[in-house]
Chains A and B, each alone.
Chain A
Amino acid sequence: MNQVPTYTKKDFASSQEIRWCPGCGNYSILNAIQTTVAKIGKRREDVCFVSGIGCSSRLPYYMNTYGMHTIHGRALGFASGVKIQNPNLSVWVATGDGDALSIGGNHFIHAIRRNLDLNIVIFNNEIYGLTKGQYSPTSKYGLVTKSSPYGTAEEPFSPASLAIGSGATFFARTIDNDIKHIQDILMRAYEHKGISIVEVLQNCVIFNDGAHDTYADRTIKEENTVRIEHGKPMIFGANKDKGIVLTGGATPVAKVVKIGENGITEKDLLVHDEKQESPLLANLLTTFKHPTHPLPLGIFRDVDRPRYEEAVYKQIEDVQKKKTERTVRDVLTSGDTWVIN
C-alpha cells in the first residue's frame, strides 16, 4: 500500500480559471473544501467530485481530482453509480438549492434513504443564480425576484427538515463567512460513514445579496444564531447570556431564556446530542429560525446506520459463498437444458 502523500490545499486546485462573480460566497466554500480534502488522508486519485447544474456545480472543474459536471438535478444519481462501482473513492457532491431541492428533490430524498457514503454540500443562496435571478425552493415567502415581481406565493423548503425527515444520518449547517467552521464541518462530514448533508448558507452578491444577513451580519449574528456542539448546552448571544430550554413534557416546546433570569442557570439548558437515535431533537432544531429562535449552526445529527454500498458488497460475498457458478456458461448450463447429438 502506497503511503498517502502530504498534501496542501494547492495540490487540489486545478488550473482552470474560476468564473464565479467577485465577492461570491462560493470562493470560501471552495477554499474550505480544498483545504479539507488535503487533510482527509485520501490519495488525490481516490477523490471524486460530482455536480449537477448551477453556479455551485462548476466546483468540480476547480478541483484537481477526478470529477463529473453532469446535468441539472441528477448529480446524486451519477455519484451513486460512482460510489457503488468503486466504494474506495471519497465521493463529494457540490449542489445548490435549486439543483438539490427542486429539480433534484426526488434524488435527494432517495439518496438519503439509501445512506450511501456520499458527502453532499448544498450551496444555499435561496435564489437561481446561473439563470440570473429567479426564486428557488428555499427563497423566503414573498421574495421579489425576476420571476416573482409581486413576491413569491410559496413557502420555502427547509433543507434541514427535508434531510432529517428523509432519515439523514448526518446533517449540518454552516455559513460562508466562517471558513474555519466550514472546514470543521466538512471534516466531520467526511468522517461520517454514510450520507452527509452539509448546508452552507451562501451569499449571492448579485441576485440575492444579504439573504442571510440576519445570521451573517457581524453586528447581529451572535444574537440570531446558536452554535450547537455535541454534549454542550445551547448558549448564544453576544454576551453568551441566552439559552434554550425544553418545556411542555410530551409535546416539547423549545423556549429562549436568559441565563440568570427567573432562576435559570446553565444546568437548565437543553444539551445538544447529535448521536440521539431518535430524530426528535434534530427535527426540533430544524424549526429554529429568526425571529422566534436562534438559527442553529453545527451538526444536527450524526448517527450510524447500514450503508447501501456496504450491503451490496456483503450480498456479493454471501452469494458467492452459496453459489458455485462463476461464468455465464456455468449459469446457462445449470438450468433446464438438453443436448442435441
Chain B
Amino acid sequence: MRTIENAIIRFSGDSGDGMQLVGTQFSNTSAAMGNDISTFPDYPSDIRAPVGTVYGVSGFQVNIGSVPVHTPGDEPDILVAMNPAALKVNLDSIKKGGTIIVNSDAFDEANLSKAGYTSNPLNTDLLKPYQVVEAPITKQTLEALKDSPLENKAKLRCKNFYALGIIYFMYGRDLDVTINWLKSTFKKNNDVVEANINVLKAGHNFAETLEASISTFKIEKAKIEPGHYCQINGNAAVAYGLMQAAEAAKLDLFLGSYPITPATDILQELSKYKHLNVKTFQAEDEICAVCSAIGASFAGALAATTTSGPGLALKSEAIGLATMLELPLVIVDVQRGGPSTGLPTKSEQSDLNIAMFGRHGEAPLIVLAAASPKDCFHMAYEAAKLALQHMTPVILLTDGFIANGAEPFKIPETNQYAKIETRLVKDKLAEGERYLPYKRDPVTLVRPWATPGVAGYEHRVGGLEKLNEVGTVSYDAKNHELMCELRAQKISRVQNYIPLQEIEGEKTGDLLVLSWGGSYGSTYSAVRQLQQEGKRISLAHLRYINPLPKNLEEILGGFRKIIIPELNHGQLRAIINAKFQCNALGFNILQSRPFKIHELVNAFNDHLEKL
C-alpha cells in the first residue's frame, strides 16, 4: 500500500448507471474520514440519451487529499468505465499510467459499436499506457444477488455499488458511511438495502482477491480546521446564504424564479424551507419571476431571483426598473455556455458583460462573483446584505462548475452571520411631515425603505424619472442628470463597504494573475505551484467586480505584467484595461470546461519566461 497526497477518481457510465450517486458516496465517505475533497459532476443535457451512446455518458469526478485540494483535479488517476462509451469519452483525459476499471461484461459488440469502436479496445494496444482492471461487474452483481427477491432489472441497478466496492478497497475506505446511508434512505425497502450492501461487499471482495495486481493507496487525514462540517455544492450554498441573510435581517425570504439549467437547484432547495418562512414562487416565465421578486421587495421581503444567461437577458428590463426604483433585489446568475441556448450543462464565465452592462440607460448596480462552491454561501449573504444596505439590485455570478461542484463547508457559528441593518423606516412621521422616498443618506446616498402597511408613508414608486428627494414624476432635464449621477455615485460609494482586495503572495513581482469567480481553485493552485518553484508571481482573485475594491489599482501597479485568465473572450480584461490602462494580457479558453491547473501553469510560465 502506497501513501499518496491526493487522488483523482472519475466514475463514468450511462446516465442511468448511478454514477452521480456512487461518486457522492465516495466523496462523503472520504470527507468523513478526514480528507479534503472537491467534486464535480459532469452530466449530459439529454435526460436519458440512448443507452450506450457517447452522448449519454454521465461522469462524476472527485479529488481527495491529505493536503488541501482546491479543484476536482485535472487528470483522473482512476477511471471507472461502466461501458465502452464511458471509456471512449474519458480516455484522453486519464493520466498516463493511471488505472482504468472497466465493466468487461458491457464490452459486447452492440455497446462497442454504439460507442463507435470497430474493435474491442480491451484486446488492442489502445490501453497499453494504463493499468487495466477488467471486472465482470454485471455477471458478478447478478451472482451476488442470486438469492435476492429483487427482479432482475432491480438487481442490475445495483452494479454501480460493485464498482464503488472496488474503489473503496483500493483506497482503504470505510464501508459504514455508505451502508448507513443505504439503511436510512431505503428504510422502507429492506431488499434494496440488503442487495446494495451485498453488491458493495462483493466488489470490495473482488478487489481484495486481485490484491497482487491492483494498486492500493493510503491517504492520510488532511489538516482541516476543527469544526462541524457538511458537504455543500454552490447551488445549495447560494440557497443557504440567502436564507442566512434573511435571518440576519429579520426579513422573510422571497424567491421568484423559473426553472433553468444550471440554476434550478436553488429554486428546488429553497422550496423545501417553508418552515423558515421561505416563499418560493415558480413564475410562468423569467420576466414574471423577477417582477414578482421586485413586488415582494417593495412589500418588505428580502427578494431574490435565480437564473442563468438566457433568463438574465429576459430579466434585463425589470432589473433596470429595480435600479430606478432603488429597491433591494438579489439576482443570481449561474453562468453556462452561451450565447443563446449554448451549452446548458457546461460552465463558462461569459455573462460578466451582461451583468455589468446589460440594461438600457445608465443603470449601474453591484456585481459580485463567488469563487468556489462554499464561497457561494458567503457571497450570497454578501449580495443580500449589500442589496439591503444600499437599496439596489445586486447581481451575483456563479457558474455551472461551482454550482454543481461540492466541497466540505464548515457550518458557520451562530454569531458569524448575525445581523444585517436594513433601511426600513422605523419612526412615525411628525404631524404634517411628508415622507420623501428619495431623500438620501448624505454619506451613502442610500434612500429609506417604506413598505405598504406602514401608515403615513404612502408613496408611489415608478419607472418614470423622479424628482430628487420627493420621488414624484419629473421630466426636468437637469433633475434627470442629477438623478443619474446620484444613482451612479451611490453604487461607487459601495467601495467603502466592501473588503480590500487580498493578494496571495508578494505585493510586488513579475506577474500578477488577476482572476475572478469560479476559476479560483485552478488559478490558486497554479500560482501556488509556481510560487513554490520560486517564481515571482502573485494572485489577486476578484469577488467584488462592481464596484472594484479600492486598493486594486495599487496592487496592479506592483507587477511588471498582469494576466487575466477567463473562460470567455476577455470580458474582465476589457473592463480592467479600460479603467486602469494597464495592458493586462489574457488567457482565454471556451472549451466548456474549467481551467486545468497545468495549462495555467504553462501559460503563466510562458509569460514569466518572456520577461
A interface vs B, CB < 8 Å?
Answer: 14, 16, 43-50, 53, 60-61, 63-71, 74, 76-86, 88-89, 106-107, 110, 312, 315-316, 318-320, 322-323, 325-329, 331-333, 335-341
Checking B228, B240, B293, B462 against A69 with a beta-carbon cut-off of 8 angstroms, the contacting residue is: B462
Query: Cβ of A68 and Cβ of B317 under 8 Å apart?
Result: no
- Chain B contacts of A323 at CB under 8 A? 275
Question: Does B461 lie at the interface of the complex (its beta carbon under 8 Å from any beta carbon of A)?
Answer: yes
- Chain A contacts of B226 at CB under 8 A? 339-341
Query: Cβ of A78 and Cβ of B453 under 8 Å apart?
Result: no
Question: Does B219 lie at the interface of the complex (its beta carbon under 8 Å from any beta carbon of A)?
Answer: no
Binding-face segment, B15-23, B282-290, B330-338, B520-528: B282-290
Query: Cβ of A333 and Cβ of B228 under 8 Å apart?
Result: yes
Query: Cβ of A84 and Cβ of B281 under 8 Å apart?
Result: yes
Query: Cβ of B462 and Cβ of A326 under 8 Å apart?
Result: no
Query: Cβ of A46 and Cβ of B452 under 8 Å apart?
Result: yes
Query: Cβ of A106 and Cβ of B285 under 8 Å apart?
Result: yes
25 residue pairs bridging A and B, Cβ less than 8 Å apart = A45-B452, A46-B453, A48-B299, A48-B452, A49-B460, A66-B451, A70-B294, A70-B463, A74-B288, A77-B290, A77-B291, A80-B291, A81-B295, A84-B292, A85-B301, A89-B299, A106-B284, A110-B283, A312-B279, A315-B274, A333-B230, A335-B230, A336-B230, A338-B31, A340-B229
- Across the two chains, which residue of chain B brings its CB closest to A323? B275
Query: Cβ of A336 and Cβ of B293 under 8 Å apart?
Result: no
- Chain A contacts of B444 at CB under 8 A? none
What's the tally of chain B residues with a CB closer than 8 Å to chain A? 70
Query: Cβ of A85 and Cβ of B229 under 8 Å apart?
Result: no
- Complex formed: what's the CA distance from A312 to B279 in Å? 8
Question: Which B residues between 155 and 212 are near A, CB-CB below 8 angstroms?
Answer: 181
Query: Cβ of B288 and Cβ of A77 under 8 Å apart?
Result: yes
- Complex formed: what's the CA distance from A70 to B321 in Å? 7
Query: Cβ of B279 and Cβ of A339 under 8 Å apart?
Result: no
- Chain B contacts of A80 at CB under 8 A? 281, 283, 288, 291-292, 295
Query: Cβ of A319 and Cβ of B256 under 8 Å apart?
Result: no
Question: Which B residues between 224 and 253 are near A, CB-CB below 8 angstroms?
Answer: 224-231, 240, 243-244, 247, 252
Checking A43, A85, A327 against B279 with a beta-carbon cut-off of 8 angstroms, the contacting residue is: A85
Checking B277, B292, B451, B473 against A316 with a beta-carbon cut-off of 8 angstroms, the contacting residue is: B277
Q: A60-B460, A74-B288 are in contact. Are A331 and B279 (CB under 8 A)?
A: no
Tell me the minimal C-beta distance from A327 to chain B in angstroms.
6
Query: Cβ of B472 and Cβ of A16 under 8 Å apart?
Result: yes
Query: Cβ of A325 and Cβ of B275 under 8 Å apart?
Result: yes
- Complex formed: what's the CA distance from A319 to B459 in Å? 36
- Across the two chains, which residue of chain A brings its CB closest to B254? A85
- Chain B contacts of A331 at CB under 8 A? 240, 243, 273, 276
- Complex formed: what's the CA distance from A318 to B460 in Å? 36
- Across the two chains, which residue of chain B brings its CB closest to A330? B276
Query: Cβ of B458 and Cβ of A77 under 8 Å apart?
Result: no
Question: Does B303 lie at the interface of the complex (its beta carbon under 8 Å from any beta carbon of A)?
Answer: yes
Tell me the minimal C-beta distance from A170 to chain B in angstroms.
20
- Chain B contacts of A318 at CB under 8 A? 274
Query: Cβ of A85 and Cβ of B300 under 8 Å apart?
Result: yes
- Complex formed: what's the CA distance from A333 to B244 in Å? 14
- Chain A contacts of B144 at CB under 8 A? none
Query: Cβ of B284 and Cβ of A110 under 8 Å apart?
Result: yes
- Chain A contacts of B296 at CB under 8 A? 81-82, 84-85
Q: A106-B284, A110-B284 are in contact. Are A71 and B453 (CB under 8 A)?
A: no
- Chain B contacts of A335 at CB under 8 A? 230
Question: Does B477 lie at the interface of the complex (its beta carbon under 8 Å from any beta carbon of A)?
Answer: no
Tell me the minimal C-beta distance from A46 to chain B in angstroms.
6
Question: Does B28 lie at the interface of the complex (its beta carbon under 8 Å from any beta carbon of A)?
Answer: yes
- Across the two chains, which residue of chain B brings its CB closest to A16? B472
**Given A70-B294, A329-B412, A338-B32, 7 new contacts (CB under 8 A):** A74-B288, A78-B294, A82-B452, A89-B299, A316-B279, A331-B276, A337-B230
Query: Cβ of B321 and Cβ of A71 under 8 Å apart?
Result: yes
- Complex formed: what's the CA distance from A53 to B464 in Å? 10
- Complex formed: what's the CA distance from A110 to B32 in Å? 47
Query: Cβ of B464 and Cβ of A339 under 8 Å apart?
Result: no
Query: Cβ of B459 and Cβ of A66 under 8 Å apart?
Result: yes
Query: Cβ of A340 and Cβ of B225 under 8 Å apart?
Result: yes
- Chain A contacts of B31 at CB under 8 A? 338
- Chain A contacts of B281 at CB under 8 A? 80-81, 84
Checking A47, A61, A82, A336 against B462 with a beta-carbon cut-off of 8 angstroms, the contacting residue is: A61
- Complex formed: what's the CA distance from A265 to B241 in Å? 71
- B314-336 CB contact bits vs A (8 Å, 1 = yes)? 00011001000100000000000
Query: Cβ of B463 and Cβ of A69 under 8 Å apart?
Result: yes
Tell me the minimal C-beta distance from B316 to chain A in angstroms.
10
Query: Cβ of A328 and Cβ of B292 under 8 Å apart?
Result: no
Tell me the minimal C-beta distance from B411 to chain A in angstroms.
5
Q: A81-B297, A85-B252 are in contact. Are A74 and B411 (CB under 8 A)?
A: no
Query: Cβ of B295 and Cβ of A339 under 8 Å apart?
Result: no
Checking B181, B291, B452 against A74 with a beta-carbon cut-off of 8 angstroms, the contacting residue is: B291
Checking A61, A81, A340 against B291 with a beta-carbon cut-off of 8 angstroms, the contacting residue is: A81
- Across the two chains, which residue of chain A brings its CB closest to B180? A336
- Complex formed: what's the CA distance from A328 to B460 in Å? 35
- Across the two chains, which residue of chain B brings its CB closest to A48? B452
Query: Cβ of A84 and Cβ of B453 under 8 Å apart?
Result: no
- Chain A contacts of B301 at CB under 8 A? 81, 85
- Complex formed: what's the CA distance from A67 to B463 in Å? 12
